[in-house]
Amino acid sequence: MPPPKPSTEGPRDRHVTYEIGQLVRALRSQGPQRPEELGRLVGDEYWESGRFDKALALAVSDGLITRTGEGKVAVV
């Protein structure tokens, strides 16, 4: 039998890697976007509350996405 799941998952739960990938793919295909537009491109209205902001923050901290001086985000 597998061990029980931890009572709390860390900042990287099962889906965040997939969500970060969605953000990166959208930016690669559409170019730099304002976070609101990026959210629309990836359909964040269907994501659980707070998931988009979490995925974007982790992508920025991982160096996959950068914030531009124009208030946009872009792939590094």
Q: Domain residues of the chain, as ranges?
A: 16-75
> Helix/strand/coil (H, E, C) string of the chain?
CCCCCCCCCCCCCCCHHHHHHHHHHHHHHHCCECHHHHHHHHCHHHCCCCHHHHHHHHHHHCCCEEECCCCCEEEC
Q: Which residue has the higher pLDDT, 13 or 61?
A: 61
Report pTM.
0.83
Q: 38-62, pLDDT tens digit by residue?
A: 999 999 999 999 999 999 999 999 9
Per-residue pLDDT reduced to its tens digit, 14-41: 789 999 999 999 999 999 999 999 999 9
Residue 7 has pLDDT above 80, yes or no: no
